Amino acid sequence: GMLFSYRDGVVTMVATDSKRLAMTERAVENVSGGNGDCIIPLQAANEIKRQADPQDNVTLEIGEKMARL
């Protein structure tokens, strides 16, 4: 899976394939709400990658029991 963690204006994304670990951090704009974490299943992350346009902005909403892009 893929961990999304939001803290103080920065989103940290961490993913693994059981052999390697990758991490990236990005400053984000237009944030409402507070700090939080969620794990996106690998299959869902691959589907997002397949459908997303690299030139577009992505909206991520994290709730108590769900995440929506």
pLDDT confidence tier of residue 3, bands split at 50, 70 and 90: very high
Cβ atoms 22, 15 nearer than 8 A: yes
Write down the pTM of the prediction: 0.73
Are residues 23 and 12 in contact, defined by beta-carbon separation less than 8 angstroms?
Answer: yes
Angle at CA of residue 58, ends 52 and 59, nearest 5°: 135
pLDDT of residue 27: 93
pLDDT tens digit sequence for 39-51: 888 888 888 888 8
More confident residue, 59 or 37: 37
